[in-house]
Amino acid sequence: MATFTPKFRPDRRSLMGGAAAMAGLTFLPRGTMAAEEKKLNFYNWDTYIGETTLEDFNEASGIEVKMDLFADNDELFAKLKEGNPGYDLIVPTNDYVERMIAADMLVPLDHSKIPNMSNLGKNFQDASFDPGLKHSVAYMWGTIGVGYNKKRTGDINASWKHLYDSDQFAGKISLLGDGQNVLGHAMKYMGKSLNSTDMADIKAAEEMLIAQKGNIKVFADDNGQDLLASGEVVIAQEWNGDILQVMAEDDELSFFVPDEGGLIWQDCLCIPKGAPHPDNAHAFINYILEADPGALIADYIQYATPNEAARSKLSAEYNENPAIFPTEETVAKCEFQLYLGEEHVKNINDAWTRVQAA
C-alpha cells in the first residue's frame, strides 16, 4: 500500500491515475497505479456468504465488495471462458478448479499474503486437484447423498439402491439434473469409481437409469430439497447443504451418505486471470480464513468449513452434525470429481442425452 503524501506533485502519472480512478476506469497498464482502488468484485454462489461478512470486511479494510451470483459451475466457466469480465474472486468447485488450471484461467496465489492459511485443517493443506494449493484455497466442503422423508419411507438402509435400482418409492424419487452426478453415482452404486472412464461402466450406468426412469419423478436441477419439503418426492439425491436447509424446518427429513460412498466436493476461492484487484482478493481470502469471520459464515450457511479456527468457535450442534461432517469412515469411501478431459465430458453428456431421450 502506498502511503498518502499530502504534498501535491502534479506529474502525468498521478494525474492520469487519479482521473482514471475517479472515472472508475483503468485504462493504464496495471502496475502503473501505486495501489489498487478499494474495490473487489466477488463472483459467488447464492446464499453462500455470511449475513454481514461483506460489510464487516469493508469496515475492517475499507474495501468495498460487490458480489454477483452464479447458479452453477458451468455458468461460471462459460462466463470466464471468453475472458474475465472483471471478477477478482470466484468460487469454483474442485473439478472446475482443475479444469480452469488446465485452461490457464487462474492466477497463482501469493501464500505470503494469506497467513491465515494455517487455520485450514490438515486435510485441506494440500489438494489432489491443485497440488500445493498454488491456485486455490478451500472455502467450504460437503457431500452428495440422499435426503429422505423418514416418516414416509420408514427406516431404510444407507444405499443408493432406493434411488437407482428399486421401485419401492416409484414416482416419488428425484435425482440431480446433471448427467455427471447422476451417471457417476450410478457407477458408484455398482461398485465402480464415479470417475470411471470405462465405456462399459458408463454404458451400464446409462442402461440402469433407462430401466429406472419410469420410477423417477424428475431430474431436479437444484430444487430436490424443495420437492422433498413440499412432499412431491419422498427421497431425493441432493447436495448435503441443500438438504440441511430443509431439515432445519422439518423434523421428518433426514440425510445420509450411502455406504457405497458418494461424491465429496470442495468449493475453492480462486483469483481468475485478468482480475483487476488481485491484492484485495488476497486480503479478502485471508479475512475469510480468520476465526471469527469464518465462524460467522459457516454458522449462517451451515456448510462444513475447512477452517479449524472457525470450527473451534462454533457449537457442538454444528460440529457434531453427521449431515454436515460425515464420519472419517464415510469420507474415506467418497471421491472427488476429477476433470478427465474433453473426450470424457463428451461421453458422459452423450450418455445423458440418451437417458433423457429414451
Query: Min. distance of Cβ 69 from another protein in angstroms?
Result: 14
Please identify, using beta-carbon distances, which residue of 219 and 336 lies nearer to another protein. Answer: 219
Three-state SS at 265: strand
Residue 331 and residue 265 in contact, taking contact as beta carbons nearer than 8 Å: no
Q: Least distance in Å: CB of 103 to another protein?
A: 4
Is 281:116 a contact under the CB 8 Å cutoff?
no
Q: Identify which of 189, 305, 306, 302 has the alpha carbon closest to the alpha carbon of residue 237.
A: 189
Close Cβ partners of 25 (under 8 Å, ≥ 6 residues apart): none
Least spacing, CB of residue 108 vs another protein, in Å: 18
Spatial contact of 129 and 137, defined as CB atoms under 8 Å apart: no
Give the strand order in the sheet containing 39-45.
64-70, 39-45, 89-90
Long-range contacts of 27-31 (CB under 8 A, 24+ apart): 30/276
- Compute the least distance from the CB of residue 202 to another protein, in Å: 14
- Least CB distance from residue 138 to another protein, whole Å? 23
Q: Give me the count of residues in the chain.
A: 358
Contact 351, 183 (CB under 8 A): yes
Q: Which of residues 101 and 297 has its CB atom nearest to another protein in the complex?
A: 101
Q: How many other CB atoms sit within 10 Å of the CB of residue 83?
A: 11
SS3 236: strand
Cβ distance to another protein smaller for residue 118 or 353: 353
Q: Shortest gap between Cβ of 92 and another protein (angstroms)?
A: 13
Q: Which residues bind another protein (CB under 8 A)?
A: 72, 74-75, 77-78, 81, 99, 102-103, 105, 171, 177-180, 213, 216-219, 221, 230-232, 341-343, 345-346, 349-350, 353-354, 356-358
Select 217 or 277, whichever has its Cβ closest to another protein: 217
CB of 227 to another protein, least distance (A): 8
C-alpha cell at 345: 465430458
Which three three-digit cell numbers place residue 30?
A: 496495471
Based on CB atoms, which residue is closest to another protein, 74 or 292?
74
Q: Among residues 164 and 284, whose Cβ is nearest to another protein?
A: 164
Closer of 37 and 222 to another protein (Cβ)? 222
CA distance 321 to 209: 32
Q: Write down the least CB distance from residue 17 to another protein, Å.
A: 32
Could you please report the per-residue DSSP string of 22-50? HHT---SPTTSSSS--SEEEEEEETT-S-
User: How far is the C-alpha of 278 from the C-alpha of 284, rounded, in Å?
Assistant: 10
Closest CB to another protein among residues 180, 280: 180
